[in-house]
Amino acid sequence: MTRIDALRAVYDRLSDCAVVTIMGAVAAEVQSIGHRPNFFYLQHAMGLASSVGLGIALSKPSLPVVVFDGDGSLLMNLGGLSTLARYRPSNLLHVVFDNESLLSVGGFPTATGAGTRLGDMAAAAGVPRTARVTTIADFVSEFDAAQQARQLTTLVAKVEAIGPSAFVTDLGLLENRFQFQRYLHTR
Ligand SMILES: Cc1ncc(C[n+]2csc(CCOP(=O)(O)OP(=O)(O)O)c2C)c(N)n1
């Protein structure tokens, strides 16, 4: 499974959620499918997308929040899993695209290729629902199940280490920030 195909498969489900992505390849891929005012790309603060998603989910309990994280990013902030689990907002879906790689900075391997299982780590931290998928069909079905369950979920999607050929955007960081902030005020 490629991440862009997985993103395309759930794109229509993202219109009524606050969406937070990590920087780099994922952000570029989401933008290549189509930016929306409810999408925020957390540039530079590596590892903290789930923490930003947690804050939004806790402050807007009726708003579904989806975080698109990466294996390298999550490994930089493993303590974030225990904080997610401690507050366990029912409206937060934490998707981790595990490509076993720091793809955005050249493709250096991460520990998940050597056996580290992020879903198990999330479960051990206390995240009440976890799943691991390797196909688009399972990704979509677990994505839907997580949103229907109304329970904090970490969904690990094993994906190929393939990304966009270039990270081109005409969306400025501040423009994205203010647009997203305005979106949150409407919810
Ligand atoms: C604190 C910090 N360290 C390093 C970087 C450089 N950096 C940007 S993206 C990235 C890799 C992210 O890896 P992963 O979360 O696995 O996502 P992928 O790039 O594979 O999609 C790195 C190391 C950074 N932005 N911030």
Ligand 1: centre distance to CA 186 (Å): 31
Residue 3 scores a pLDDT above 90: yes
Q: Whose CA is nearest to atom 2 of ligand 1?
A: 46
Give the Å distance between the CA of 148 and the centre of ligand 1.
Answer: 31
User: Which atom of ligand 1 lies at the shortest distance from residue 110's CA?
Assistant: 16
pLDDT band at 173 (very low <50, low <70, confident <90, very high): very high
Whole-angstrom distance, CA of residue 155 vs CA of residue 132: 6
Helix, strand, coil fractions of the chain, as percent rounded to 5: 50, 20, 35
| pTM for this prediction | 0.98
pLDDT digits (tens, 9 = 90+) for 114-124: 999 999 999 99
- Percentage of the chain beyond pLDDT 90 is 96
> What confidence tier does 132 reach under pLDDT thresholds 50, 70, 90?
very high
Q: Is the CB of 142 under 6 A from ligand 1?
A: no
What per-residue confidence (pLDDT) applies to 17? 97
Average pLDDT (167-175) is 90
Dihedral over Cα of 135, 97, 39, 180: its sign: positive
Mean pLDDT over residues 17-37, rounded? 97
Give the per-residue pLDDT at 169.
85
Average pLDDT over the chain reads 97
CATH number for the domain harbouring residue 132: 3.40.50.970
Q: What is the pLDDT of residue 167?
A: 84
What range defines the domain where residue 29 resides? Answer: 3-185
Q: How far is CA 150 from CA 65, 92, 107, 144, 163, in A?
A: 11, 8, 35, 10, 31
Tell me the CB-side half-sphere exposure of residue 181, using CA atoms within 13 A. 6
| pLDDT above 70 as % of the chain | 100
Q: Is the CB of 101 under 6 A from ligand 1?
A: yes
pLDDT recorded at residue 66 = 98
| Torsion, CA 154, CA 155, CA 161, CA 162, rounded to 10 | -120
How many structural domains comprise the chain? 1
What is the mean pLDDT of the segment spanning 157-172? Answer: 92
**pLDDT tens for residues 42-84?**
998 999 999 999 999 999 999 999 999 999 999 999 999 999 9
From ligand 1's centre to the CA of 85, what distance in Å?
Answer: 23
Count CA atoms within 13 Å of residue 160 on its CB side. 10
**Contact 67 CB / ligand 1 (< 6 Å):** no
Nearest atom (ligand 1) to Cα of 99 = 20
